[in-house]
Structure 1
Amino acid sequence: MAGAVEKPGRGHRDRETEAIKRRLHDLEGKVRDARSRHEPASSASQDRGSAMGEALKLSTEMIAGVAVGGFIGWALDRLFGTAPILMVVFLILGAAAGILNVVRSAQRRQAAAGPLPGNDLPADDDDD
């Protein structure tokens, strides 16, 4: 009968280990499910950040075009003594260059995004 008696706590410890393993496995499943639910939200914030970066880049190009044009016009006015004429001309040219850069960047971004839904409709044959 002495062999039938277990050491105190040994069987209890095995049951606790199994319970902990089971709880850990359940917790891993819950974490995996939570991560899969939150992945689309992170891609949306990444898209928002990308769009914010693109907007900052476009505005910087616009401001840089005007600033460089104004500086070149100012320097040429100082060199030739033709006070505000060349500065105004180059400010306008700088603004035009900035707008052209913004339009080109927007066209590249639109081409990379692909066609909009609904643009694949057949041509309208009405003679209205």
Structure 2
Amino acid sequence: MSDPDDSERLRQLEARIARLRGGEAKRPHQEEHYSQAQHAWRMVIELVAGLLIGFGMGYGLDLLFGTLPVFLVVFTLLGLAAGIKTMMRTAAEMQETKTPDTGGDERAKDGD
């Protein structure tokens, strides 16, 4: 084979590859789906971490002072509140990053 034939085959191959790459429009949707799942798991982990930290601090203080589970209950509730606050902050971040991509949904702006 000669060089002109190889270069023509190479151009044809590149054209086929470019044509096939045009069908990758579905990947961002799949990546967005996984991104949403990651955000959901992040929010669940933040809530559980807040609860566990509050529980641990309350339990430790109860052991230290030898009291009834007063600190356990109080700090578990504080941990729940902190976890919910962190989840709400994460949801607000997600909403801020999503609003410019959707062209500025008016309903999302009214809620702020």
Partner of 1:30: 16
Aligned positions of 1:25-104 closer than 5 A: 25-38=11-24, 40-104=25-89
Identity of aligned residues (%): 30
Q: Which moved more, 1:19-28 or 1:93-102?
A: 19-28
Alpha-carbon separation, structure 2, partners of 1:108 and 1:87: 31
Which structure 1 residue ranges, 5 or more long, are not aligned? Answer: 1-12, 121-128
Runs of 5+ unmatched residues, structure 2: none
Other-structure match for 2:92: 107
Aligned length: 104
Within 2, Cα distance between the matches of 1:107 and 1:20?
A: 56
Gap change, CA 1:96 and 1:81, over 3 Å in 2: same
> Hey, which of these two has a bigger chunk of helix by percent?
2
Partners of 1:100 and 1:51 lie apart in 2 by 19
Q: CA-to-partner distance for each residue in 1:65-119, whole Å, 9 max, x for gaps?
A: 0000000100111112112121011111111110111011101211221143x64
| Counterpart residue identity of residue 59, structure 2 | W
Cα distance between partner residues in 2 of 1:18 and 1:100: 67
Cα root mean square deviation, aligned? 2.0
CA distance in 2, matches of 1:80, 1:19: 87
TM-score, structure 2 length as denominator? 0.79
CA shift for structure 1 position 46: 2.0
Structure showing greater radius of gyration is 1
Greater RCO, 1 or 2 (C-alpha within 8 Å, sep 6+): 2
What is the aligned partner in structure 2 of residue 125 from structure 1? none
